[in-house]
Structure 1
């Protein structure tokens, strides 16, 4: 259960104001009235991306000592926190209208999700907890928790949510969590 909750919180926070969330907004604007299909594609893309990360974490779990895995989780949280402090580049959206809302969104979001901080967080948390399925489910739900309001509000999302302040707050929280994990792994606290 620890893997589910920690992946949900960490990935949900890391996604707020991230490129993937902005892509969901752009895709919903590109395919008006098809927010459900865009969200379904976002969920599947997140499941594939986090599933790959969780599977990698499961492989590493038995090969690396627990303290090193905790340090890796600390680095993932620190990296996500620092990434949240940086302003994301506005993504460019090139989707062929012939692909449709679901397939086009899936292709774009899969490309954005591979190698993303969410995948790294899922990898690290899965490796630390030895629960890859729960880590992948939690991370996917976290990504969707950030995507749903973006899809429902569309362009208004960036006007309603003070993204700069939210990203700074989330960055600080993730950095503090990463420092806590790191100090605990080094047995300094």
Structure 2
């Protein structure tokens, strides 16, 4: 349950102000059809994060527990720093409208999430907790918690979210995870 809750919270916070959340705002404004947009986000996130979770699990099979502890600890601290860097949105991510709302959202979100903070976080969390299903479920829920309100409420909430504060909290959580991992908190997971 810990893997699910931490994955949900960390990704929900990290997603605030992220390029995929900006994409959700743009798709909502462009299409004004929340249901296919939300479903596209869900399917894209499940596919993307399942692959990332599998990669994290695979990486743990290649590296000794001692090395993995250091890799994960440093990775979490690097994620803390990366979250503090504002994202820029690429307009090309939203130029797939000829495929329909659901497919446009699915493709745009899947591609925008490649190499993104939340995808990298999913790899690290799956490696940390060795519970791909719980991590992917948590990171997917975190993505949905951040993006569904963006789709439904759009501009009404965009300017009311203190993005710097939210990013600071997410960065602090990643930093704590990193330091705790380096200090041996993951030893009960075999690190």
Distance 2:182 2:123 in 1: 16
| Structure 2 counterpart SS, 1:160 | coil
What residue in structure 1 maps to residue 134 of structure 2? 134
* Alpha-carbon distance, 1:185 to partner: 6.3
Distance 2:94 2:118 in 1: 23
- Tell whether the 8 Å contact from 1:14 to 1:81 is kept in structure 2 after alignment: no
Could you tell me how far 1:186 is from its partner in structure 2? 10
* Counterpart position of 1:124: 124
Task: Identify the range of structure 1 (101-110 vs 144-153) with the bigger mean alpha-carbon deviation.
Answer: 144-153
Distance across 1 between alignment mates of 2:35 and 2:75: 31
**Taking structure 1 as reference, are residues 186 and 37 closer, same or farther at Cα in structure 2, changes over 3 Å only?**
closer
CA distance in 2 between counterparts of 1:150 and 1:3 reads: 25
Name the residue aligned to 2:165. 165
* Alpha-carbon spacing, 1:7–1:66, altered in 2? closer, same or farther (3 Å): farther
Aligned residues: 186
| Structure 1 contact 73–121 (Cα < 8 Å) conserved | no
CA drift of 1:39 comes to 1.1
| Counterparts of residues 34-183 of structure 1 (less than 5 Å) | 34-92=33-91, 93-183=93-183
Write the deviation string for residues 22-70 of structure 1: whole angstroms up to 9, x where unpaired: 11111111111x1121111111111111111111122222332233333
Residues 94, 148 of structure 1: alpha-carbon distance in 2 compared, 3 angstrom cutoff: closer
Give me the TM-score of the superposition, normalised by structure 2. 0.86
Q: 2-side partners of 1:43 and 1:91: how far apart? A: 21
**Contact persistence 1:66–1:128 (CA under 8 A):** no
Per-residue deviation at 1:143?
0.9
Structure 1 unaligned residues grouped into runs of 5+ = none
Unaligned runs of 5+ in 2: none
State the 1:172 CA deviation.
2.9
Contact 2:83-2:117 at 8 Å conserved across structures:
no
Q: Distance in 2 between matches of 1:5 and 1:73?
A: 18
Give the TM-score taking structure 1 as reference length: 0.87
Superposition RMSD in Å: 2.1
